[in-house]
Structures are given as C-alpha cells and as structure tokens.
Amino acid sequence: MSSYTVINPATEEAVTDVELFDVEGTDDAIARASDAQRAWARRAPAERAQTLRDFAAAVDADVEALAQLETLNSGHPIGQARWEAGHVRDVLTYYSAAPERLFGKQIPVAGGLDVTFHEPLGVVGVITPWNFPMTIAAWGFAPALAAGNAVVLKPAEWTPLTSMRLAEIGLEAGLPDGLFQVLPGHGSVVGDRFVTNQTVRKVVFTGSTAVGKKIMAKSADQVKRVTLELGGKSANIVFADSDLEKAAASAPAGVFDNAGQDCCARSRILVERSVYDRFMELLEPAVAKVAVGDPRDEATEMGPLVSAKHHAQVSSYVPDESQVAFRGSAPTGAGYWFAPTVLTPGRDDRTATEEIFGPVVTVLPFDGEADAVSLANATEYGLSGSIWTRDVGRALRVSRAVEAGNLSVNSHSSVRYTTPFGGFKQSGLGRELGPDAPLSFTDTKNVFIAVEELS
C-alpha cells in the first residue's frame, strides 16, 4: 500500500498520511461488502431502519468533531462545515424510513396474482469529489444502504478524512462489518476498479464531466448502472423588474460559497441591460464584504481553495487584469487564497463558457427574456441556476425554458434532501436525493403467481 499526505489548505501544513488502497485491496473490500450485503438484506426492515436511525444519532453526537475535521482537511469555514455534518445526519434520518416504505405494486392481471418487488442491487460503488466530501458521500451511501445494498466509497485524494470517520461511526453505531467501507485511493486505481469489478452493480459518480464520460463508457461493458453528477456553469438571471438590492446582495453567496468550488455555483450573472450599471454599483460593495480568511474563525464566510494544484488551475483563468471589474479581499501568506473576483468578459470568452470552480464570476448584459434564456442555455452544462423577477408569469416561463435540473426563483438555494437533485445535458445522468433515491439502488422484479379459478 502507498500513502498520501493530506494538506491543510489554509496553512499548507501536513495533517496526516493516509494509506491508499490498491487493486487487490479494493477487490477484497468489495468481496467483504458482498458478504455483508446478503446478511443486511435478510434483516427485517424495521431492524435496518433502526440501525440507520442509530447511525444518524451517532453522527449527531459527532457533528462538532466532524465539522472541525472538515475545516482542517478541506478549509471549509467552520459554520458551513457544521451545517454539512448536520446535513449528513438529516439525510440518514430521512432515508432511515425507506426500509419500511419501499413499496412494490400489486397489478391486476388475469389468472393469478402479480406483484412487484424492489430488490437491492448488491454492492454499490460511490466515488466522491473533494468539494463537499461529507454531504455528497451521504447522498450516495444513505439511500443505497436504506435500499438493502452494501457501499464501498472512494473519497477524493485531497479530502478523505471525514468520509473515513463516517465509516467508523457507522460501524460503532451497529452497521454490519464490511457493509459500508471507505477506501482512500487514486481514481485510476480504486475508482476504476469499482467500474471494472463485476460484483459492483452500480457506480454513483460525482465529479468532472470528463471523468464521468469515461466511467459511463467503461460501465457499458457490464451494463453497470450509473448515476453521474457532473460539472456546471449555472446562470443567475437578473431581470430589471426584480428586487435588485436583494439580487445583488445575495449574488456573492450564490457563487462564492465554498470558494466557488460548488457544482451549483451561479458563476454567470446575466443582467438585463437597462439595470446593468446599477446592478454593478450594488454588487461591488457586496463582494467587498465577503469575509475571506481563517476557516476556524466563526465569522469567516469563505476559506481557501482546496490545493496548490487547484489554485493554479483557477488562476489560469485570470492571467491579467483585462477582464477584471473588481475583486474582494483575501489573506496573503501561507494558504491557497484567492480573492472573490468579478469579470466582465465577452459572451464567447473561455471565462464565460468553462467551469472555473473557484471564486470567479462573470457578469454579462442581456436584452429581454428570449436573449436571457438563449444565453443561459448556451452551454453544454445544465445543473442549476436562479431567476430574479417580480413577474410570476416570467418566472414560470423562464424556469421552464432554462435547461437545468435545479432552479430557484428569487433565491440561490439548490439542495434540499427532500427534493430530487441532478443535471440536464452534460451535467449528469439520473437524480439523487428526494423520495425516489432509494429506488435508484434497486432493480424491479415482477412475479406472477398462477392461481386457479374458484370452482
């Protein structure tokens, strides 16, 4: 086994070394998961539900420690990290009801009884990115376990610590040994093995569109099920009839939360031309106010970027001042700091079309509803977005016309665990969260039982 040194992105100091799985270790873990799954699926639904509630309660007891660990590993501001750990608890609690509610159907047929069952798939592989390590892990493992599966999870190399801790908490709370395992490792080794090992029946992948395409192509070989949650370049559309003060005041949070390392980041602000100048006047002080700094500080709203490599990648989008309208502030010295940055590029410039995944937003003017929709849709992504208007008809027209899976009107909220989440076009395939998520970890079986006529 090789190891990987986890770095604190706020200080550039080493946190710990993590042992990485190789192919052989991955295969062993998958075999163990498969054994555990058979026993888990045989347990009574009420017993599985109680075990998941116990897991949720154990996460609740550990919220502060998990949050501190995420802040250390990922540089997330402590307030945000607490919310994330609480979200994991809530997702587990929500899906703990599923074992007793995975209802099949009884379908009227001639000559007997016809019933459907939702059978667990077996072992599910979950591959997570580094931007929201805990929450995205829970979106995969909680509904998969609830539907009677085992889960092997590969966290991103840079941010494995909270997922590793969650697997320990699950075991301590009573999950059968081997049912939920976290395997730190490289994507090309452990992640790839999830795709090629035949015992893994489904892969849930969250990450870049480029890697998602590779996983989808390779999965075809075994007709392996995939859910893909990929990149985004979401539009924040501001109409002249909106509450402009509110739209401008909340725009920074819509893109700079988690230092812009958010697949749902509203990284393109589109403003109706007649109010463009006024909007920019309001946006500048709102950006200046974003508190960037030590993620352990309760007042911090934005921490550092996750790594030196990612810092270099984001920086490559702002090589000079030619597109910069204004910036917020950021600390200097150790840490991967990047100030919130507002660009005013041309419509076809790289900054206006590619996912930057950092605290960089572009602002473009538009002329009327049709132009706003066409500009919003001028990307192969389709994950998220916002529409600001006081006209309810326009809100509905534009929401229906924008090609994206998760839209909000007069708000920047994207994710509620009770509602479905996922992308249109190259932002993904399938949906996570919401009431139907456990079903996506099952195959439907139809059984017909011949019954003789009453004589």
Give me the residues that bind ligand NAD (CB under 6 A), please: 127-131, 136, 154, 156-157, 187-188, 191-192, 206-208, 211, 214-215, 229-232, 263, 355, 357, 383, 423, 427-428
Q: Which residues contact 417 (CB under 8 A, 6 or more apart)?
A: 87, 90, 91, 94, 139, 433, 434
The secondary element (H helix, E strand) that includes residue 18 is: strand 13-19
For ligand NAD, the closer CB: 294 or 432: 432
Residue 154: Cβ within 10 Å count: 29
Least distance to ligand NAD, CB of residue 441, Å: 17
Least distance to ligand NAD, CB of residue 405, Å: 9
For ligand NAD, the closer CB: 169 or 183: 183
Least distance to ligand NAD, CB of residue 415, Å: 9
Token reading at 182: 């976290």
Query: Which amino acid, one-letter code, is at 241?
Result: D
Q: 3-state DSSP call for residue 392?
A: helix
From the list 128, 170, 182, the residue with the least C-alpha distance to 146 is 170
For ligand NAD, the closer CB: 63 or 126: 126
Which of 84, 229, 355, 432 is catalytic? The answer is: 229
For ligand NAD, the closer CB: 204 or 271: 204
Least distance to ligand NAD, CB of residue 265, Å: 8
Maximum CA pair distance of the chain? 88
CA distance linking residue 430 with residue 373, whole number of Å: 24
Least distance to ligand NAD, CB of residue 119, Å: 26
Cβ–Cβ < 8 Å for 409, 386: yes
Integer distance in angstroms from the first to the last C-alpha of the chain? 69
By beta carbon distance, the residue nearest ligand NAD is 187
229 classed as catalytic: yes
CA dihedral 261, 266, 268, 271 (to 10 degrees): -150
Residues with a catalytic annotation lie at 229
